[in-house]
Amino acid sequence: MSLRPVRVDLHLHTVLSPCGDLEMGAPEVVSKALQEGIEVLAVTDHNSCLNYPALSGAAEGTGLTVIPGMEVQTIEDVHVVTLFPDYERAMECQDWVWETLPDVPNREDLFGYQVVIDKENGVLDMVPRLLVQGTERTVDQLIEKVHRLEGLAILAHVDRPSFSYLAVLGFIPDELEADAVEISARATEDQAMAIMGKYPSRTFLKSSDSHRLSEMDAARCSVMALEEPSFEEVKMALLRIGGRKVMAEWR
């Protein structure tokens, strides 16, 4: 076994997220990831994984590993990044989330477009239900569901003053079975170190949370010690198994 540094970005939005810029198409995102030396990229649109096939198709043959996922907004208004071994399990979780996602129509003039694309940016569909809203699932229920599907649950951007576990619920209890904690690239070093110091047993990472191409920057991602760029290796790194680990937690 030989481990090596692998640059990983586990939080990114495409044109499916209404807050995502329309430049976040499949070929453009893949090209930018390769330019930045990113080898593992997770597609995590709001409450949906429908653009994973487009990104995965655009990345075919490039060496970039694309992981299916989504950023789920829970009933507490906490954002949790969820990642899965395959698209089938990601879709199973999406269906479960959508069972209690309010049927509020998206107002494109107010929130933005929600575009499902193919690998060449051809428009396949426009999601009519607003994706940037909370489902009626709790954080605990979501984590349990994700783990039943052998996925990963990451508390998103916990340094932010809204839509983060710390902002909404105050502190992360020891018994919460989240697999990792994300600190946003916008946090200062002092903010990051203060949060990490309170939870020394937790795995921390940094992801870009990109909504536009300019935010896809190697400096906004994590570096992990992996044998190869794959979901299973990332999972081992977050769970600190077999020497795999997050090498640069936040810097």
Query: Could you read off the pLDDT of 104-126 as tens digits, one per residue?
Result: 999 999 999 999 999 999 999 99
Q: Give the DSSP per-residue string, the chain.
A: ---EEEEEE--B--TTSTTS-TT--HHHHHHHHHHTT--EEEEEEETB-TTHHHHHHHHTTTT-EEEEEEEEE-TTS-EEEEE-SSHHHHHHHHHHHHTTS--PBP-TTTT---EEE-TT--EEEE--B--SS--S--HHHHHHHHHHTT-EEEE--TTSSSSSHHHHHSS--TT---SEEEEETTS-HHHHHHHHHH-TTS-EEEE--BSSGGG--GGGSEEEEESSSSHHHHHHHHTT-TT-EEEES--
Query: What pLDDT, on a 0 to 100 scale, did the predictor assign at position 249?
Result: 62
Query: What pLDDT, on a 0 to 100 scale, did the predictor assign at position 12?
Result: 97
Query: What pLDDT, on a 0 to 100 scale, did the predictor assign at position 20?
Result: 87
- Can you give the residue ranges of every domain in the chain? 4-248
157: number of Cβ within 10 Å: 27
At the top level of CATH, which class does the domain 4-248 belong to? Answer: alpha beta
pLDDT under 50: residue ranges of the chain: none
